[in-house]
Amino acid sequence: MRFTLPEIRRASLTSMVGIEARRFAKHPLFVIGVLAAYGVAVWASTLDTATSGGEVHVEGVLAHPIVPAFFIGLTSLVVAASLTRSTDVAAEAMGTAPGSEARRTLAVAGACVVPLVAGLGWLAELFVIVAVRGTHPNELWFPTVNDGYVWCILLALGPVSCLGGGLLGVLVGRWLRFRGAAVVAVVVVVAVDMLGQMPYAYDDDRASFRLWVPWAMFHAGGATEEELNGIPAYSQALLPGNPAWYLVYLLVLCALAVVGAIWHDRGARTPRVRLVAVGLLVAAIGCFLLAALTGISDVVISGPIDQAG
Amino acid sequence: MSVELNGVGKSYGGTPALRSVDLSLGTGVTGLLGPNGAGKTTLLRIAATSIAADGGDVRLLGRDPHESHAELTEIRRELGYLPQELGYPSDMTTFGFVEYVAVLKEWDERRARHREVRRVLDLVGLGDLAGKRVSRLSGGQRRRAGLAQALIGSPRLLVLDEPTTGLDPTQRAQLRRTLSVVGHESSVLLSTHQTEDVAALCERVVVLADGQVRFDGTVVDLVATAVGQVWLTDSAVPQAAVTWRTGTGRHRVVGGPRPPGAEAAEPTLEDAYLLMLGPDAAPLPA
Of A6, A9, A86, nearest to B91 by CB-CB distance is A86
More confident call, A169 vs B248? A169
Q: Which residue range(s) make up the domain with B204? A: 3-218
Determine contact: B90 vs chain A, CB below 8 A.
yes
**What confidence score (pLDDT) does residue A1 get?**
43
Distance CA B166, CA B143 (A): 7
Residue whose C-alpha is closest to residue B86's, from B31, B9, B141, B26? B141
- pLDDT, residue B286, reads 47
- For residues B214 and B232, state if they share a domain: no
Among A22-31, A150-159, A184-193, B165-174, the minimum mean pLDDT is found in: B165-174
Distance from CA of A89 to the nearest CA of B (A): 5
B282/B274 Cα distance (integer angstroms):
11
- Average pLDDT rounded to a whole number, residues A251-266: 95
Q: Residue A10's pLDDT is what? A: 56
Task: Mark yes or no for CB contact B100/A19 under 8 Å.
Answer: yes
Asked if B50 lies within 8 A of A12 by C-beta distance, the reply is no
Whether residue B35 sits in one domain with residue B123:
yes
Give residue A5's pLDDT band: very low, low, confident or very high (50, 70, 90): very low
Domains held by chain B: number: 2
- Is residue B241 in a domain? yes
B66 touches chain A (CB under 8 A): yes
CB-nearest to A93 from B90, B92, B149 is B149
Q: Is B87 within 8 Å of A98 when comparing Cβ atoms?
A: no
pLDDT of residue B121: 95
Shortest Cα distance from A280 to chain B (angstroms)?
A: 26
Q: What is the CATH number of the domain that holds B87?
A: 3.40.50.300
Tell whether B74 and B141 lie within a shared domain. Answer: yes
Residue A109: what pLDDT?
A: 97
Residues of B in contact with A99 (CB under 8 A): 103-106
From CA A170, how far away is CA A105, in angstroms rounded? 7
Beta bridge partners of B28: B187
Residue A9 has pLDDT above 60, yes or no: no
Core vs surface per residue B191-218: b (16+ CB within 10 A) or e: bbebbebbbebbebbbbbbbbbbbbbee
Q: What percent of chain A has pLDDT over 70?
A: 86
B154 and B262 assigned to the same domain: no
- Interface check for B154 against chain A (CB to CB < 8 A): the answer is no
A1 → closest Cβ in B66, B77, B105:
B66
Beta-carbon contacts below 8 Å between A and B: 101
- Shortest Cα distance, chain A CAs vs residue B145, angstroms: 12
What is the reported pLDDT for A8?
44
For residues B101 and B149, is the Cβ–Cβ distance under 8 A? yes
- Verify that B123 and B184 share a domain, yes or no: yes
State chain A's mean pLDDT as an integer: 85
In a domain, B188, yes or no: yes
Distances (CA, A) of B102 to B32, B90, B136, B253: 27, 18, 21, 49
pLDDT at A243 over 70: yes
Tell me, yes or no, whether B76 and B113 share the same domain: yes
Q: What is the pLDDT of residue A52?
A: 62
B203 shares a domain with B240: no
Q: Is B110 on the interface with A (CB under 8 A)?
A: yes
Q: Which residues in A lie closer than 8 A to residue B151 (C-beta atoms)? A: none
Mean pLDDT of A121-125: 95
Q: What b/e sequence results for A86-100 when a residue is b if at least 16 CB atoms lie within 10 Å of its CB, and e otherwise?
A: bbbebbbbbbbbbbb
pLDDT tens-place values along chain B, 286 residues long: 789 999 999 999 888 889 989 999 989 999 999 888 889 999 999 999 988 899 899 999 999 988 887 888 888 889 999 998 888 888 889 999 999 889 888 888 889 999 999 999 999 989 999 999 998 998 888 989 999 999 999 999 999 999 888 888 888 888 888 888 888 889 999 998 888 888 888 889 999 988 999 999 999 999 998 888 888 888 877 777 788 888 888 888 888 888 888 888 899 998 888 888 866 565 555 4
What angle, 0 to 180 degrees and rounded to 10, lies between the N-to-C axes of helices A181-197 and A74-86?
150
Question: Do B232 and B211 sit in the same domain of this protein?
Answer: no
Single pTM value for the model: 0.81
B56: CB partners within 8 A, 6+ apart? B5, B6, B7, B8, B9, B20, B21
* B278 falls within a domain: no
Q: B236 and B101: one domain? A: no
User: Is B276 within a domain?
Assistant: no
How far is it, in rounded angstroms, from Cα B203 to Cα B30?
Answer: 6
B146 inside 8 A of chain A by CB: yes
Q: What is the mean pLDDT of residues A177-187?
A: 94
**d(CA B164, nearest CA chain A) in Å:** 17
Tell whether the model's pLDDT for residue A261 goes beyond 90. yes
A108: contact with B, CB 8 A cutoff = no
Q: What pLDDT is recorded for position B46?
A: 93
DSSP string, chain A: -B--PPPP-HHHHHHHHHHHHHHHHH-HHHHHHHHHHHHHHHHHHTT--EEETTEEEB--GGGTTHHHIIIIIHHHHHHHHHHHHHGGGGHHHHHTSSS-HHHHHHHHHHHTHHHHHHHHHHHHHHHHHHHHH-B-TTSSSTTTS-HHHHHHHHHHHTHHHHHHHHHHHHHHHHH--STTHHHHHHHHHHHHHHHHHTTTTT-TTTGGGGGGSSS---EEE-S-SS-BTTBPTT-EEE-SB-HHHHHHHHHHHHHHHHHHHHTTSGGG--HHHHHHHHHHHHHHHHHHHHHHHSSB-S-EEPPP--B--
Domain endpoint, select from B218, B242, B277: B218
* Contact call for B50 and A95, based on CB within 8 A: yes
Contact B103 A15 (CB under 8 A): yes
The pLDDT assigned to A6 comes to 41
Residues of A in contact with B96 (CB under 8 A): 19
Task: Please name the residue of chain A whose CA is at the shortest distance from the CA of residue B65.
Answer: A1
